[in-house]
């Protein structure tokens, strides 16, 4: 039986919060395994591309051609900031709980800047072209978060 009732469309819809949470386990394969093992051992590795240049983090393949790569090259833990963004209010997920910079850092001996974190204390300390060096975490676990860069 139909029951006529007023279902007033002006009513607000119900809302509720929901947390999507999972810890993924990413197997690494040979090249990335060597890179992350290196980080755990406080070493930074890149990989040599067909044109002789070195890219870091290493890829199993050349990004431009798809060609397989396998010659790992150890790099010094310092380099140059090529660009940066200043995060004045870090989000909870982000690696530092105080203001910091995300930066493109070109490590000496490598031709490809990569995205990482510079713990510079203050925005005024950041400048493109500045030298930075790796500061390792107290305990390294074999992850990209094992280090941050600091002004050299």
Partner 1 sequence: MNAHDTSGTEGDGSPVTVLRAPIVLEYEYSAGQSASRFLRAIAEGRLLGQRCPVDGRVYFPSRGSCPQHAVTFGDEVVELSDKGTIVTFSIVRVPSKNIPLELPYITVNVLLDGADTILMHVLDADLDDVHMGMRVQAVWKPREEWTTSTENILFFRPIDEPDADYDSYKEHI
Partner 2 sequence: MAELTAVVGIGQTKYEAKRDDLSMPGLVREAAERALADAGCSWADIDAVILGKAPDLFEGVMMPELFLNDALGGAYKPMLRVHTAGSVGGSTAIVAASMVQAGIHDRVLCVAYEKQSESNAIWALSISVPFSLATVAGAGGYFAPLVRGYIRRSGAPEDTGIRVAVKDRQNALRNPLAHLHLEDISFDLVANSPMLWDPIRYLETCPSSDGACALVMEKESLASRRPDKVAWIHATEMRSEPTMFSGRDQVMPRATLDNAKNLYRKAGITNPRREIDCAEIYVPFSWFEPMWMEGMLITERNQGWKMTYEGATAMDGDFPVNMSGGVLSSNPIGASGLIRFAEAARQVRGRADQHQVDGARKALGHAYGGGSQYFSTWIVSSEKP
Partner 3 sequence: MREVAVVGFTQSPSVRREPDRNEVEILIPVLQALREQTGLAGAECDFICSGSSDYLAGQSFAFVSGLDAVGAWPPVSESHVEMDGAWALYEAWVKIQMGYADTALAYGFGKPSMGDLPITLALQLDPYSVMPLWPDTISVAGLQARHCLERGLFTADEMAAVAVRDRGNAKTNPYAQVKGDFTVEGILAEPFLVNPLRKSDCAPISDGASAILLAAGDRATQICERPAWIRGFEHICEPMDFGVRDLGRSRGTEIAAEKAGVSSDKIDVAELSAPFTHQSILVERALGLPPETRINPSGGALAGNPLMAVGLSRIGECAARIFRGEADRAVAHATSGPCLQQNLVCVLEGR
Binding site for partner 1 (CB under 8 A): 1-7, 9, 11-28, 33-34, 36-37, 39-41, 92-95, 137, 139-145
Q: Which among 126, 125, 83, 120 has a CA at the least distance from the CA of 105?
A: 83
Tell me how long the chain is.
152
For tokens 């469309």, name the residue: 9
Candidates 70-78, 83-91, 130-138 — which segment interacts with partner 3 by CB under 8 A? 83-91
Cα separation, 74 vs 44, in Å, equals 6
Dihedral sign from CA coordinates of 66, 24, 32, 43? positive
Shortest Cβ distance from residue 94 to partner 2 (Å)?
A: 17
- Regarding 113 and contact with partner 3 (CB under 8 A), the answer is yes
Distances (CA, A) of 100 to 28, 52, 81, 88, 107: 29, 33, 14, 7, 19
Is the Cβ of residue 143 or residue 152 nearer to partner 2 in the bound state? 143
CB-based contacts of 136, cutoff 8 Å, min separation 6: 42, 146, 147
Candidates 8-16, 69-77, 130-138 — which segment interacts with partner 3 by CB under 8 A? 8-16
Cα separation, 77 vs 100, in Å, equals 19
Q: Which does 65 bind (CB under 5 to 8 A by kind): partner 3, partner 2, partner 1, none?
A: partner 2
- Regarding 38 and contact with partner 3 (CB under 8 A), the answer is no
Is the Cβ of residue 1 or residue 20 nearer to partner 2 in the bound state? 20
* Residue ranges binding partner 3 (CB under 8 A): 12-13, 15, 18, 20, 24, 26, 28, 32, 35-36, 55-57, 59, 63-64, 82-88, 91, 93-95, 102-104, 106, 111-117, 123, 128, 143-145
């Amino acid at each position: 039986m139909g029951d006529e009732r007023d279902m007033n469309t002006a009513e607000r819809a119900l809302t509720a919060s929901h947390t999507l949470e999972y810890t993924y386990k990413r197997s690494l394969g040979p090249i990335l395994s060597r890179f992350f093992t290196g980080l755990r051992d406080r070493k930074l590795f890149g990989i040599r591309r067909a044109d002789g240049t070195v890219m870091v983090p290493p890829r199993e393949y050349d990004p431009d051609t798809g060609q397989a790569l396998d010659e790992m090259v150890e790099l010094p833990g310092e380099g140059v900031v090529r660009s940066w963004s200043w995060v004045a209010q870090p989000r909870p997920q982000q690696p530092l709980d105080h203001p910091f910079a995300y930066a493109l850092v070109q490590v000496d001996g490598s031709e490809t800047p990569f995205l990482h974190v510079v713990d510079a204390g203050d925005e005024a300390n950041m400048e493109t072209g500045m030298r930075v060096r790796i500061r390792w975490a107290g305990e390294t676990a074999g992850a990209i978060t094992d280090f941050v860069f600091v002004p050299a």
